[in-house]
Each structure stands twice: as C-alpha cells, then as structure tokens.
Structure 1
Amino acid sequence: MTTTADLSSLGVIGAGRIGRAIAVLGRAAGLDVRVAASRPPEQIRAEVEAAVLGAQAVSVDEAARADIVVLAIPMGRFRQLPAEALQGALVVDAMNYWWELDGARPDLDDPTTSTSEIVQAHFAGSRVVKALGHVSGYALEELARPAGDPDRLGMAIAGDDAGDVAAVGALVDALGFDPVVAGALAEGVRFEPGTELFGADAGAGEAREMLARFWQSQRGRVVSRARGGSRP
C-alpha cells in the first residue's frame, strides 16, 4: 500500500486557479512542489512564489521528474505538451473538456471513450490516473480537511494500475480529501462534466452513490447508447 511517506515531490503543470490551488495543498502537505506552465519559469516565478509559498517555478521537464505530476491546463492544449517529457511519469489528469474554452472538439467529446483515455493515448509512455478535476475550484481552495473530519469531501479516482491508483489515493488523502476509487481509467467518464458528481462537492459516501447512479442518468444513457449498450 502506497502511503504519503512514499511521496516527496509533486509536479503541477498549469499555473491557473486549479494548478495553484493544488500546489498550495501540496506545500501544506509538506511536499516539494514544482510548478510549470506554457511560459518559461522566469516569466511565472513571481506569481508562483506569491501564490504558493515555498513552491518552485520550473520547466515542464523539471516538473515531470516529480513523484507525481498533475496536469491542470485547459484540456484543448494537452497535446502541446511533449509526450517524451512525461515518459514513465505517474500523471494525474485533472483536466476537463469545456467547449466554451477549448472550442468545439469532436475528438474530446466522443461518448465512446473517456477524456482520460484520450490523454493516456497521447502520453502512451506515462501512467495516467484521473483525479482532482471534478470538485470545484472553491473546494480545492477552501474545503480540504484532515482525515476523519466529518465534513471531508470525497475525491473520485480512476486508473488502470492498482499501485498507481493507491499512490494517487495517498496524494489525495494528503491534500485533504477522501479517496473514492471509481475503477479503471475508462470509469472516469462517470465524473466528467455533465455528470451528477461533477462539481457536487460531496462526501465520500455520497460520491460513491452518485457514481453508482451514473448509468441511470441522462449522460449515462447517452454514453451507454453510444457504446452499443456496453459499459467499461
């Protein structure tokens, strides 16, 4: 079982609201936090250091060498990241597809697959786990709680490797949320935008119930129909 003791560094690619919030939580958990963006490190250093006390502004290559790397950039831009930079890395997909931001992208709006599977296909040499993307920005900034707190929120996790899911679960726990394992990476479709759990900021028990109800929801029926009635 992977524990927080096995994690010492966190790379965050993306210096927007979500990336900064995750970086702040990482520093609070005692991790060595490295933040990268599309701009060179020297151009983001001042804002990163002002927003995240103790974090380092680094290149994408440097962020990718952390124990776990979180992708927190607009989803329409993930293919701009060189796949070789993340070769072998454990990557947390915290991205979501928004047509308002990303534009109309049929390649990212395919109900026959999950967006995290599309990310995994691009970063074929990496190990992708979906997490940290379905709670609100406010929840990441204000609602993290210590283990055992009755108001702690649940955080869904989906991934194909049990060890990687355990590692991300340890990270989620360290950041202040209860890990809720949804299943394989394909199951990430159950907490993408348009699902009941997305943005719900629910406790772990309620999050599990929402995941279980997915296939009876409108979005679940659309996905099931597109897949010929099959489920992941």
Structure 2
Amino acid sequence: MSTLGIIGSGSIGSAVARLAVAAGIPVVVANSRGPQTLTGLMDELGPLATAGTVEQAAAAGDHVVLSVPLTAVETLDPHLLDGKVVLDTTNYYPSRDGRVPRLDDGDVTCGELVQEHFPAARLVKAFSNIVAPHVPQLARPSGADDRTALPIAGDDDTAKAEAAALIDRLGFLTVDAGTLADAWRFEPESAAYTPIYLADPSTAGTADAGPGSPRPALPPVAPPRRRHPGRRRGPAVLTTGRLPTEHAGEQTARDRSARRMSGDLA
C-alpha cells in the first residue's frame, strides 16, 4: 500500500500510526509544531515512519488520516486534501471547541462541517468513536474471530470502500453507518460512542474518554438539542453493537461496534 499521511500527532493520530507501521504501511506524520517536535514518536515508530510538515503528510499518498481538533480544521488550506480519501476522526466537544451553533442546532454533523471546509476531499468519518487506549487493545489481524467493528460514514461509496480496506489492514472490521449526514449516530453522547467498547474484556480497566484521555467535561450550560431528530429512523446496528448478517461469522464475543475519537494537531 502507498504511504499513509497522518495530520495530527495526538492520541488517535499516534495510535493509528502505530497500527499502520505494524501492518507494514509507511507513514508521514505531521503536527502544528513542526517535524522537529516528533523525534520521540519517530524513534518509537521506526524506519517506516517519517516526520513531515502538514503539506508533506497530505501529499504523501492517496489516503490521509485527519486527526485534529475541530477548531484546527479551519486553519488548514481548503485545497490541502483535494482528491484524497480522508479518514476524519474529528469530534465536536463544546468544552474544548466552544459552541458551534450549526452543530448545536443539528443543521449539520461534524463530518459535514469538515467536508464543507475541504470540498474536494473524499471524506470518510472513521476512528471518531473510539478512545486512543482502545485502538491497540482491540486491533486484531484479519481473520481473527474476535475482531471489533468501527462505524464509518461518507458520501462517496468508493472512498468508503477504500477506507474500509485500509481499516481492515489496521486491525478492525467496519460497519457502514451511511452518509456524513448520518454520522450523528456515532458522535459524542450517542449509543455508539466510546462506552460500547468497554464491554470487551480487552479494555478492562480502561476509563471512558473523549479526545485523548481524560474526556473533557461539558461546560455548565444547557446541552444542545439532540442532533438530527428527523434522521433517527435508520438501522439500529450501531446501537446494538451487532454486525450486519454478512459478518455474522466474525461477530462471536463482540458486543462492540462503534466508537470514536479525535486527536489533536498540537
């Protein structure tokens, strides 16, 4: 596989980088502070990893992991990811990001908002409902009978298929949760967000967390209205933790289905 670019060296970005090099996938990792700040991570990741600028990570290959705070998205060039299949781990945490009225009102999902900023990117929401410690704990090789499934969502079916193939190499099955408009199904406070993975024995003793660990608390204001109430008639697969029937043979002891997470660009 071609090199995987990773923009954001926070908890999730680093966790995905570790899975990638373990699977033999070269990575170029970038953050907002420059390649010189990534020496320790590069030493850990080994010869398949290179530290680069954000632009170098974006240009490294056909697939890019975007793992930055929501507020950092608008600081990036809207054409940075043109034509790329982008695995977007971004989440909206009001305590960290401030209030975003369009998200609070349910006008758009976080994924749709990121897609608006990168109109020519082929965005797929992924790795956004799982906390960083669970990424290595739950990753399993292809064919293992206890693999965990992660939800993905996107508007480009071909991009979702490519993302699913990449995620399979990284150690997870995927559940297609629909379009970016459907991605609220595994946003924070949803049933498919992080706690579902705590049912797995591999995660025993791991605290529920949000963007990294610990999870930031919501500010002491009235919570936003539930997102997209009119869209909540879709399949219940993400709330039950069960895989579609075509994956039934791989389900076994997995009552874990979807969880998400966001890293940081810092």
- For 2:123 and 2:198, the matched residues in 1 are separated by 24
1:146 aligns with 141
Supply the distance in 2 between the matched residues of 1:84 and 1:189 (Cα, whole angstroms): 25
- Tell me: CA distance 1:88–1:140, structure 2 relative to 1, closer, same or farther (3 Å): same
Does the 8 Å CA contact 1:158/1:181 hold for their aligned counterparts? yes
**Distance in 2 between the 1:133 and 1:76 partners?**
16
Give 2:99's aligned residue: 104
Quick one: distance in 2 between partners of 1:41 and 1:136? 25
The 3-state SS of whatever aligns with 2:29 is strand
Following the alignment from structure 1 to structure 2, what is the Cα–Cα distance between the partners of residues 231 and 112? 17
In 2, Cα distance between the equivalents of 1:26 and 1:178? 15
Of structures 1 and 2, the one with the larger relative CO (CA 8 A, separation 6+) is 2
Q: Distance in 2 between matches of 1:95 and 1:47?
A: 24
The match for 1:223 is: 227
Q: Deviations over 1:176-210 (max 9, x none)?
A: 0011111122111111111011102289xxxxxxx
TM-score normalised over the length of structure 2: 0.72
Tell me the distance in 2 between the aligned counterparts of 1:161 and 1:132.
17
The answer for unaligned runs of 5 or more in structure 2 is 200-222, 235-266
**Structure 1 residue 188 corresponds to structure 2 residue 183:** yes
| Contact kept in structure 2, 1:154 and 1:202, CA below 8 Å | no
Separation in structure 1 between the aligned mates of residue 94 and residue 140 of structure 2, nearest angstrom:
32
Partner of 1:119: 114
Alpha-carbon contact 1:24-1:53 (below 8 Å) kept:
no
Question: How far does residue 169 in structure 1 lie from its aligned partner after superposition?
Answer: 0.1
Counterpart residue identity of residue 149, structure 2: G
Q: Residue 19 of structure 2 is aligned with which of 20, 25, 35?
A: 25
Match of 2:7 among 1, 8, 13: 13
Q: Shift of the alpha carbon at 1:127? A: 1.1
Once residues 32 and 224 of structure 1 are traced to their aligned partners in structure 2, the CA distance between those partners, rounded to angstroms, is 38
Partner of 1:69: 64
What corresponds to 1:48 in structure 2?
Answer: 41
Contact 1:64 1:86 in 2 (8 A): yes
Amino acid at match of 1:81: L
Higher share of residues assigned helix: 1
Deviation at 1:148, TM superposition (A): 2.8
- Cα distance in 2 for partners of 1:222, 1:13 equals 30
Contact persistence 1:92–1:128 (CA under 8 A): yes
Structure 1: give runs of 5+ residues left out of the alignment. Answer: 1-6, 204-218
- Deviates most, 180-189 or 14-23: 180-189
TM-score by length of 1: 0.82
Distance in 1 separating the partners of 2:94 and 2:226: 18
Q: What's the counterpart of residue 52 of structure 2?
A: 58
The alignment-based identity, stated in percent, is 40
Count of paired positions: 207
CA distance in 1 between partners of 2:87 and 2:68 (Å) = 12
Shift in CA distance, 183/41, structure 1 to aligned 2, threshold 3 Å: same
